[in-house]
Amino acid sequence: MFRADGRWPAAEEGLDPYPIWIAEVMLQQTQLQVVLPYWQRWMQAFPKLEVLAAASEQQVLLLWQGLGYYSRARRLHATSRLLLTELQRHQRDGNDPMPFSDWPFDPEIWLALPGIGRSTAGGILSSAFNSPRAILDGNVRRVLARLHAHPVPPIRAQAQFWAWSEELIDAVPGLSRDLNQALMDLGAIVCTPRRPSCELCPWDAHCAAYAAGSPQQYPVKEAPRDIPFQVIGVGVVLNDAAEVLIDQRLNDGLLGGLWEFPGGKQEPDEVITDTIRRELREELAIEVNVDNKLITVDHAYSHKKLRFEVYLCRWISGDPQPLASQQVRWVKPSNLADYPFPAANGRIIAALLERLA
């Protein structure tokens, strides 16, 4: 049925893998209603693989701005170039669209690409090619946990949950695309986290959690962890030309590659204005006057909560150096929209523009 090189034999039997791949990566750790407008804007800006591969990383991050988990965007961009190189080896005319038949069908090829795990690979291959590959995203885990009233958190029983998902795939040969989509829709629309509509579920007669009268107790959750809280002093530094200083985060770590206003963590018993002066001296080798507070922004990540205490600053001396970042830049405040910033910085930019108006 399949070609000897493990690729799908006929393009008309599959769907375009490119938009499916983009959607699968965007849906990692993010809900569909949040992803949909981002996916639509992405497909307008980067309608095919070649366009994405030719884009700059900053263009990609700017379009991703606000979606979170920015390493996904950088990995998508890097993967696009790897895939393009692979696909061009199978393309006769470099100006033609990439034929679907030349996209990799072997899951091992996908798993070797940046940012592609087992469930994402299964989602791409089953959706694009109707390949008999199981998936295990958050919706499917929740459905399976309730169906079997599994007594431990799914993350501690991955092998069992994968076995259940694969059993379902094996039970409906030739319908992998429809089954996986139905499982995701069931979890997103009916078997929801807080108010499951069990009366609408086609599996209510087979669901152990429903039979026990306690579907909301599943999936079993890990014991909650204490989330650390940190105060960050941020300096919005203006020079005599009314330009503002921004720096680009290192690619490694949280929010890599994005731009931000400089600053850092407040030390114990440290006055926040002293924090800002110290951080700008240590990270940028500049001296500033810390003036009035601009705004306070609270922002929560999955692993910590931050409070940004933001002050307007006047540059005094020192040529800004990227001692803890990729690069620094003086820009006109009106041009800040051209740079990708973390979500919390959007309120800072709005407050700055209002103050300067």
Q: Tell me the C-alpha distance between 350 and 221, whole Å.
A: 38
Is 237 in contact with 318 (CB distance < 8 Å)? no
Query: How far from 219 is each of 97, 155, 278, CA to CA, in Å?
Result: 43, 10, 46
> Would you state the torsion angle of the CA atoms of residues 123, 124, 125, 127, taken in this order, to the nearest 10 degrees?
70
Dihedral angle sign, alpha carbons of residues 73, 192, 131, 92: negative
167 labelled catalytic: no
Q: Tell me the C-alpha distance between 223 and 67, whole Å.
A: 27
Backbone angles phi, psi at 119, to 5 degrees: -70, -40
User: Which one is catalytic: 24, 50, 260, 309?
Assistant: 24
Q: Tell me the C-alpha distance between 227 and 183, whole Å.
A: 32
Cβ-based neighbour number of residue 116 at 10 Å: 22
- Residue 68 Rama label (left phi>0; alpha psi -120 to 50; beta): left
- How is residue 58 written in tokens? 């900053």
Dihedral angle sign, alpha carbons of residues 153, 157, 162, 167: negative
> Which residues are marked as active site?
24
